[in-house]
């Protein structure tokens, strides 16, 4: 398996992988919308290839954390692995690769809404521990954050997702 940044020729297969993994087109559309917005971080849209075929994709993009000031933080979404390639470590490898890049970029914190059983193994913890709240009702254990090396205490408040996320 090889992990690398997405390039333009990957866009169609990335949409296919997202649609197959989620069983709907909403996440594929989300990826496209973010790509065309100022929230897009080119080096943090990653694909996983097996024998030169893209079978997984992860997107990290900027979202707002609104407290005393509004800070840009990183949101992890969506993550998709082709159904025939799940449970082989590909999703985990994409998360680890993305977290390393975010850390190297001196980003402070990564936010995810997902399964605690899966994400806690990468160091994600319930956001309430860091006084970070969701802007919509969600169980505490599924709204998680991973502080990176550049984390500082000022990173607290309410997470506001761009309108592109309204469709998922
Ligand atoms: C979730 C997903 C990205 C994981 O990718 P993967 O390559 O299968 O993951 P890995 O092989 O690295 O890790 C397997 C782990 O995935 C987790 N997992 C996979 N699907 C899951 C699901 N539907 N619910 C909860 N956990 C799930 C399990 O915790 C499993 O852990 P285990 O090792 O204890 O069995 C993949 O299953 C997928 O694309 N699912 C559909 C889309 C989706 O739900 N995306 C995540 C949104 S938060």
| CA-only gyration radius of the chain, Å | 15
Q: What is the mean pLDDT of residues 73-94?
A: 98
Say yes or no: CB of residue 89 within 6 Å of ligand 1: yes
Residue 167 lies inside a defined structural domain of this protein: no
**Are residues 94 and 134 in contact, defined by beta-carbon separation less than 8 angstroms?**
no
Q: What is the mean pLDDT of residues 108-135?
A: 98
Three-class secondary structure of residue 37 per DSSP: coil
Instruction: Please state the domain count of the chain.
Output: 1
Q: 36 C-alpha to center of ligand 1: Å? A: 27
Tokens matching residue 99: 């977290």
Say yes or no: CB of residue 114 within 6 Å of ligand 1: yes
Tokens matching residue 106: 């001196």
Tell me, what's the pLDDT at 50? 98
Residue 142 lies inside a defined structural domain of this protein: yes
Q: What domain range includes position 131? A: 2-162
Residue 40 lies inside a defined structural domain of this protein: yes
HEC secondary structure over 126-157:
EHHHHCEEECCCCCHHHEEEEECCCCCCCCCE
Q: What is the mean pLDDT of residues 134-159?
A: 97
* Residue percentage of the chain with pLDDT more than 70: 100
Q: What residue owns the CA closest to ligand 1's atom 36?
A: 81
Three-class secondary structure of residue 2 per DSSP: strand
Say yes or no: CB of residue 126 within 6 Å of ligand 1: no
Residue 54 lies inside a defined structural domain of this protein: yes
Q: What is the mean pLDDT of residues 69-85?
A: 98
Q: What is the mean pLDDT of residues 111-135?
A: 98
- Mean of all residue pLDDT scores within the chain: 98
Q: 110 C-alpha to center of ligand 1: Å? A: 18
Tell me, what's the pLDDT at 75? 98
Residue 43 lies inside a defined structural domain of this protein: yes
Tell me, what's the pLDDT at 19? 98
- Look up the CATH number of the domain holding residue 59: 3.40.630.30
Tokens matching residue 158: 């309410």
**Are residues 39 and 165 in contact, defined by beta-carbon separation less than 8 angstroms?**
no
Say yes or no: CB of residue 79 within 6 Å of ligand 1: yes
Task: Please write the tens of the pLDDT for every residue from 12-71.
Answer: 999 999 999 999 999 999 999 999 999 999 999 999 999 999 999 999 999 999 999 999
Q: What is the mean pLDDT of residues 69-90?
A: 98
Binning pLDDT at 50, 70 and 90, where does residue 93 land?
Answer: very high
Residue 74 lies inside a defined structural domain of this protein: yes
Residue 152 lies inside a defined structural domain of this protein: yes
Residue 168 lies inside a defined structural domain of this protein: no
Look up the pTM and report it.
0.96
Tell me, what's the pLDDT at 122? 98
Say yes or no: CB of residue 88 within 6 Å of ligand 1: yes
Binning pLDDT at 50, 70 and 90, where does residue 4 land?
Answer: very high
């Amino acid at each position: 398996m090889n992990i690398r940044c997405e390039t333009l020729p990957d866009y169609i297969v990335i949409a296919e992988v997202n649609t197959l993994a989620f069983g709907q087109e909403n996440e594929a559309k989300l990826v496209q919308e973010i790509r065309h917005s100022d929230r897009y971080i080119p080096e943090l849209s990653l694909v996983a290839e097996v024998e030169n075929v893209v079978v997984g994709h992860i997107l990290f993009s900027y979202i707002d954390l609104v407290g005393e000031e509004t800070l840009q933080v990183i949101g992890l979404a969506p993550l998709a692995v082709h159904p025939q390639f799940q449970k082989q470590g590909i999703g985990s490898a994409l998360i680890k690769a993305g977290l390393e890049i975010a850390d190297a970029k001196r980003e402070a914190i990564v936010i995810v809404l997902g399964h605690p059983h899966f994400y806690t193994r990468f160091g994600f913890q319930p956001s309430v521990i860091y006084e970070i709240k969701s802007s919509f009702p969600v169980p505490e254990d599924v709204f998680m954050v991973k502080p990176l090396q550049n984390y500082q205490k000022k990173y607290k408040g309410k997470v506001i997702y761009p309108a592109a996320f309204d469709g998922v």
